[in-house]
Amino acid sequence: MIPTPHINCSDKELIAKTVLMPGDPLRAKFLADTFLTDVTMFNSVRNIFGYTGYYKGRRISVMASGMGMPSIGIYSYELFKFYDVEQIIRIGSAGAYSERLNVYDVVLATSAYSESTFPFVQSGIKDKELKATESLNEKIKLIANKLSINLKEAKIHSSDVFYHEDELYWQKMKNDFGCEAVEMESVALFANAISCNKKAACLLTISDSFITHEVTTSKERESSFTKMMEIALELAE
């Protein structure tokens, strides 16, 4: 079923087997403009930009996911199910729940806990904590080491809610479930990878801290989170 309702690409060969998925369409554009050569845009529906190009002579795609689990749930499912994509690496921002995670640190999610019903409603997955694909995470760790980029592994909170009325809700996620950072997409991505028998990982850059109250600007998040991009780009084939 291509093109799909949300991806206006009529040829699945235009999309690489590996897709990097930032939330922000402008971050996808920045990555394509900055790091890729021979770039072709394969999607522009709703300004969710998708590009395919070459990194060091190897082919890779990048496409935005939008914000939240319903959004990444749609795009990652369509890429896995209808465009034969084999692995998706989310490259996003996160808020730190832990004092060991500082602004601009690069974090590899080992697993994600969520209160969301997305995995169960989508494919009957009852677990509240879903793991990233271990073999893909191992590749990412080797790449980070080769690039001399300090990579911190952590269990993360994948939340449906950005604004909590309970301002100390994050402490429950940290103390009760061992979550060290929060974002809003990875559980849906991991659930789709499980249901489609594909691979998924999540690389994050800490954009703010619940501990120190440091924050980054939207412009910094768009163009300065390059270390995680450089790691993920090395997965090009």
38 is catalytic: no
d(CA 152, CA 113): 17
Do 82 and 12 meet the contact criterion of CB atoms below 8 Å apart? yes
Spatial neighbors of 57 by CB under 8 A, at least 6 apart, are none
d(CA 40, CA 18): 15
d(CA 155, CA 176): 12
CA distances from residue 54 to 31, 37, 144, 149, 166 in whole angstroms, order as listed: 12, 5, 20, 22, 45
d(CA 234, CA 214): 30
Q: Which residues carry out catalysis?
A: 208
